[in-house]
Amino acid sequence: MSFYFRQTWTDYRLQYNFSDIDVMEIDTKLIGDLWVPDVYIINEKKANFHDITVPNKLINIYPDGRVFYSTRISGTFSCNMNLYKYPLDRQICEIKFESYAFSANTIVVRWQPTASILKDGLELPQFNLTKQKAFICDGIYYGGTIFAADEFMF
């Protein structure tokens, strides 16, 4: 699957008050100098960021400290299937996101009301995409730390 992974968060350290600037568009060379949530895809088997002809990433910073981050990802993701009723079965494939190192005290991962938008004319051989659903799947890990996580179901 290839998709644009977009995140938004507020970092009050980045607030500014320049009357002539509605949004600061940050050069990709400076992204490494900013704090970015350490969200990763739990069920990723193989993935990569796109960087032809330049890294396909962007960061916009708004006066109130709100940050919008977008990057292009392609990957292969695991999807457990129940083939008990094959070929009359229905499968649920999830893409699971969570913070790698931060607890829910620092990062809370939540979907926007419109969690995904599918490209018009998208076709999957031998499959029909019937429903998308975003849901919360916070969990408790070793040591009792609660991590914020979300899943997206196809």
65 versus 118: which is more confidently predicted? 65
What does pLDDT average to over the chain?
A: 82
pLDDT at 88: 78
- Of 93, 106, 109, 95, residue with least CA distance to 149: 109
What does the domain layout of the chain look like in residue ranges? 2-153
Going by pLDDT thresholds of 50, 70 and 90, the confidence category of residue 154 is very low
Q: What is the pLDDT of residues 126-135, one digit of tens each?
A: 766 667 777 7
CATH of domain 2-153: 2.70.170.10
Longest C-alpha distance within the chain, in Å? 62
Please list, residue by residue across 75-92, b when 16 or more beta carbons sit within 10 angstroms of its beta carbon and e when fewer do. bebeeeeeeeeeeeeeee
CB 10 within 8 A of CB 66: yes
- Of 46, 58, 53, 48, residue with least CA distance to 6: 58
Residue 19 has pLDDT above 70, yes or no: yes
This prediction has a pTM of 0.78
